[in-house]
Amino acid sequence: MTPKTVAVAGATGLVGSQMLKTLEERQFPIKSLKPLASERSRGKTVTFKGEVVPVEVLSENSFKGVDIALFSAGGGTSKKFAPCAAKDGCVVVDNSSAWRMDPEVPLVVPEVNAHDITKHKGIIANPNCSTIQMVVVLKPLHDAAIITRVVVSTYQAVSGAGVKALDELDNQTRAILEGKEPQCAEFPHPIAFNCIPQIPGSDAFTDNGYTSEEMKMVNETMKIMGDNSIRVTATTVRVPVHSGHSESVNVETKTKLSADQARELLSKAPGVVVLDDPAKQIYPLALDCVGKDATFVGRIREDISHPSALDMWIVADNLLKGAALNAVQIAELL
Q: What is the largest CA-CA distance in the chain?
A: 61
Q: Are 136 and 218 in contact (CB under 8 A)?
A: no
- Among 1-5, 92-96, 160-164, 191-195, the minimum mean pLDDT is found in 1-5
Question: What's the confidence (pLDDT) of residue 1?
Answer: 72
Find the mean pLDDT for residues 101-113: 97
Strands 4-9 and 30-37: parallel
Q: Which of 90, 120, 142, 245 is catalytic?
A: 245
- Domain 131-318 adopts which CATH fold? Dihydrodipicolinate Reductase; domain 2 (3.30.360)
**What percentage of the chain has pLDDT greater than the value 70?**
99
Look at strands 91-94 and 68-71 and give their pairing. Answer: parallel
Q: Which of 283, 218, 286 is nearest to 246 (CA)?
A: 286
Say which CATH topology domain 4-126+324-333 has: Rossmann fold (3.40.50)
Per the annotation, the verdict on 115 as an active-site residue is no
Does the pLDDT of residue 118 top 70, yes or no? Answer: yes
Q: Where are the domains of the chain?
A: 4-126+324-333, 131-318
Q: What is the pLDDT of residues 18-77, one digit of tens each?
A: 999 999 999 999 999 999 998 888 889 999 999 999 999 999 999 999 999 999 988 999
pLDDT of 201 strictly over 70: no
pLDDT for residue 40: 86
Q: Which of 166, 316, 182, 319 is nearest to 240 (CA)?
A: 166
CA pair distance 12, 31, nearest whole angstrom: 20
For CA atoms 53, 54, 59, 60, the dihedral sign is: negative
Separation of alpha carbons 296 and 285, rounded Å: 9
As a whole number, the mean pLDDT across the chain is 96
Q: Residue 200's pLDDT is what?
A: 76
Is residue 41 within 8 Å of residue 16, measured between CB atoms?
no
pLDDT of 143 reads: 98
Active site residue 90: no
Tell me the mean pLDDT in the region 163-188.
97
Q: Which of 187, 290, 200 is nearest to 243 (CA)?
A: 290
Point out which residues pair with 312 in neighbouring strands.
249
In contact, 70 and 8? CB cutoff 8 Å: yes
pLDDT at 2: 87
pLDDT, mean of residues 203-213:
90
Query: What confidence tier does 318 reach under pLDDT thresholds 50, 70, 90?
Result: very high
> Given this model, what pLDDT does residue 202 score?
60
**Total-model pTM:** 0.94
| 3-class DSSP state of 152 | strand
| Region 179-183 average pLDDT | 97
The residue annotated as part of the active site, out of 84, 90, 129, 289, is: 129
Query: Which stretches of 146-293 are DSSP H helices?
Result: 163-177, 212-225, 259-267, 286-289
Per residue in 230-259, pLDDT (tens digit) is: 999 999 999 999 999 999 999 999 999 999
The predicted model gives 189-197 an average pLDDT of 97
pLDDT average, residue stretch 116-129? 96
Q: Report strand pairing: 68-71 vs 123-125.
A: unpaired
